[in-house]
Structures are given as structure tokens and as C-alpha cells.
């Protein structure tokens, strides 16, 4: 667990540790952008805070982080509610596998959902966003294992082949949803360069019909350099900033 003090205040030592790791990450991102000949201003770093306490999110927000990622609705909803009064400009990105019965809740606090992988989710998110009077950026999650001709990773989700287009079309025609682009996780044991190249190919197919879907959510703590080289616009980075996650409960 983190060294957050009771009462939800980040201990000064924890805040300093997060600040130091954030600086290292910013350096990595700047170097990756330079190596790829890209403007670092094109890159949004989403700090994935799942399993870490709200006190850590507060410390990160105090350090200037504006985009945070979460993978479970219950945990995310509680943190978003706790942080909203002090940090109303924080943007919550939902990056985990999503069930239709959670969409209504997610639409109340999330600015973006990175894990849209089937039409039923699109309908549920659209209904939730309408009920909340909000707009939601949506990324269609691509299963790169299947795109590369391998078995699906059931723990990860994601659409493949023509289903990517089908989900993208559904998002684009749902009033309160905006089709931001595509998202993927490089399959375990796969060369990330080869994996992200498959994502870029899928993005090309989607952009043929949706030229505004220019965003690519790819790259985590271990492979962000490859993602930046491939053209990622959103990096989802957890452990490089927060440390090793406590085991899933």
C-alpha cells in the first residue's frame, strides 16, 4: 500500500515521492517525443491511479496532474466525488473493462472512456451521458492479439476486425458521445512496436470514415516510448508514477 496518512492527506514523504516519479516520467515523455520528432504538447499523460487511495490522487492534482485513469467504477466514483470540491478541473478517464450496468455511473464523472468495445456499451454510455447532461469522449478498444492473428485475451477485452468499425460507427452516431479514436494494450510477450503498428493500421481503417477520430490511447509504464514512436496521443501510466500496485482485491 501507499504511505498515505490516515484522514486522506498524503504524507509529505509520499507527495515528494510522487513528485519525483512524476518528474522522471515527464522527462521520459519529453525524450520519447524528441526521439520521435513529435511535439510533447500533443501528448496527454493519464496517470492511472487504480488501487491507490484518493490521497494520492490529491497529491498528484496538487503537483499539476489534470488527467487520471481508473479501471473500476465503484472505486473511481468514490474518488471522483471526494476530489471534486478541491479539484473540479480533474479529468477522469475510465480505462478498465466495463459492464453495461456501470455505464450510467461512469457517465456521471468520466470525461473519457477508453474501453468501449461493443455496441451495447455504446448504447448504455449514451443513455448515461444523456441522463447526466454530459458529453463523453470515447476510445474504441482494440484487441491487438486478435488483430495480430492470435487468441483473444479475455481478461482485457477489445474489439477486432470489422467489429472495430462497427463500434466506432455506433459511437459516432450516438449524440452525447464523441469518437476520440482507438485504444489498446500491447499483448503480454508481444513486441510493442509490432503491436502498436497493428493499432495504427486499425486507426487508418476507422479514420477513412471518421477523419476526426485522431486520438490514440496507447503506451503504459513499460512501453510508452514505443507508443509515442507509433503516434500515441494519450499515454496511460500507472506504476511508473505510483509504484507497484497493491494486489487486486
State the residues that interact with ligand PLP by CB under 6 A: 48, 50, 71, 95-96, 185, 220-222, 236-240
Query: Least distance in Å: CB of 175 to ligand PLP?
Result: 26
Query: Least distance in Å: CB of 95 to ligand PLP?
Result: 4
* CA angle 128–131–132, rounded 5-degree value: 85
Q: List the one residue out of 82, 73, 9, 10 whose CA is nearest residue 242.
A: 10
Which residue's CB is nearer to ligand PLP, number 192 or number 238? 238
Query: Least distance in Å: CB of 137 to ligand PLP?
Result: 15
Query: Least distance in Å: CB of 42 to ligand PLP?
Result: 19
CA distance 41 to 39: 5
Query: Least distance in Å: CB of 88 to ligand PLP?
Result: 25
175-178 contacts at long range (C-beta below 8 A, 24 or more positions apart): 175/126, 175/130, 176/126, 176/129, 176/130, 176/134, 176/135, 176/136, 177/122, 177/125, 177/126, 177/129, 177/135, 177/136, 177/137, 177/138, 178/135, 178/136, 178/137, 178/138
Which residue's CB is nearer to ligand PLP, number 96 or number 176? 96
Which residue's CB is nearer to ligand PLP, number 117 or number 176? 117
CA distance 35 to 153: 31
Query: Least distance in Å: CB of 47 to ligand PLP?
Result: 9
Which residue's CB is nearer to ligand PLP, number 94 or number 109? 94
Position closest to ligand PLP via CB: 238
Start-to-end Cα distance in the chain: 12
Which residue's CB is nearer to ligand PLP, number 71 or number 233? 71
Which residue's CB is nearer to ligand PLP, number 135 or number 153? 153
Q: From residue 198, how far is each of 31, 48, 124, 145, 174 by CA, in Å?
A: 24, 24, 28, 9, 26
Amino acid at each position: 500500500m501507499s504511505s498515505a496518512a490516515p484522514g486522506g492527506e498524503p504524507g509529505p514523504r509520499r507527495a515528494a515521492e510522487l513528485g519525483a516519479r512524476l518528474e522522471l516520467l515527464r522527462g521520459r515523455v519529453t525524450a520519447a517525443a524528441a526521439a520521435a520528432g513529435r511535439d510533447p504538447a500533443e501528448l496527454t499523460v493519464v496517470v492511472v491511479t487504480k488501487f491507490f487511495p484518493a490521497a494520492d490522487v490529491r497529491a498528484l492534482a496538487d503537483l499539476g496532474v489534470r488527467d487520471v485513469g481508473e479501471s473500476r467504477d465503484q472505486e473511481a466514483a468514490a474518488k471522483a466525488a471526494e476530489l471534486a470540491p478541491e479539484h473540479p478541473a480533474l479529468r477522469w478517464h475510465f480505462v478498465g473493462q466495463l459492464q453495461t450496468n456501470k455505464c450510467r455511473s461512469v457517465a456521471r464523472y468520466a470525461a473519457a472512456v477508453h474501453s468501449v468495445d461493443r455496441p451495447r456499451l455504446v448504447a448504455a454510455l449514451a443513455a448515461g451521458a444523456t441522463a447526466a447532461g454530459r458529453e463523453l469522449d470515447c476510445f474504441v478498444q482494440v484487441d491487438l492479439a486478435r488483430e495480430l492473428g492470435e487468441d483473444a485475451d479475455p481478461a482485457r477485452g477489445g474489439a477486432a476486425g470489422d467489429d472495430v468499425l462497427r463500434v466506432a460507427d455506433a459511437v459516432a452516431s450516438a449524440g452525447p458521445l464523441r469518437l476520440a479514436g482507438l485504444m489498446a494494450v500491447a499483448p503480454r510477450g508481444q513486441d510493442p512496436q509490432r503491436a502498436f503498428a497493428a493499432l495504427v493500421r486499425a486507426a487508418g481503417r476507422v479514420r477513412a470514415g471518421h477523419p476526426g477520430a485522431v486520438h490514440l490511447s496507447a503506451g503504459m509504464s513499460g512501453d510508452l516510448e514505443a507508443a509515442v514512436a507509433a503516434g500515441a496521443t494519450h499515454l496511460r501510466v500507472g506504476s511508473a508514477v505510483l509504484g507497484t500496485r497493491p494486489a487486486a482485491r
